[in-house]
Amino acid sequence: MAHYTGSKINQIIRAWPNGTVVVLPWLQKYGAYQQLVYEYEKTAWLTRIGQGAYAKAGDKVQWTGGLYMRFRTN
């Protein structure tokens, strides 16, 4: 995995619960605009699992992790 200066990817990874799926608006909340998300995907930080839906690279996601963002209130 590439190392990015700053700590944007580190903030994202720390805030991202293991085994869950996040969507682009959630990533944007942490300052990862679409092009940056694409770069994280290319450098193996993120795995795209659907249009606008991502899992942490190497993370095992169950169906309940897919529901996580849908029912999260904050």
Listed by start position, the domains of the chain span: 8-71
Question: From residue 56, how far is each of 16, 17, 53 by CA, in Å?
Answer: 8, 9, 10
CA end-to-end span of the chain, whole Å?
A: 29
Model pLDDT, residue 4: 47
Model pLDDT, residue 66: 82
Per-residue pLDDT of the chain (74 residues; tens, 9 = 90+): 555 444 789 999 999 999 999 999 999 999 999 999 999 999 999 999 999 999 999 999 988 888 877 666 55
**Which CATH number is 8-71's, of 3.40.50, 2.40.128, 3.10.620, 1.10.10?**
1.10.10
Model pLDDT, residue 18: 93
Model pLDDT, residue 28: 93
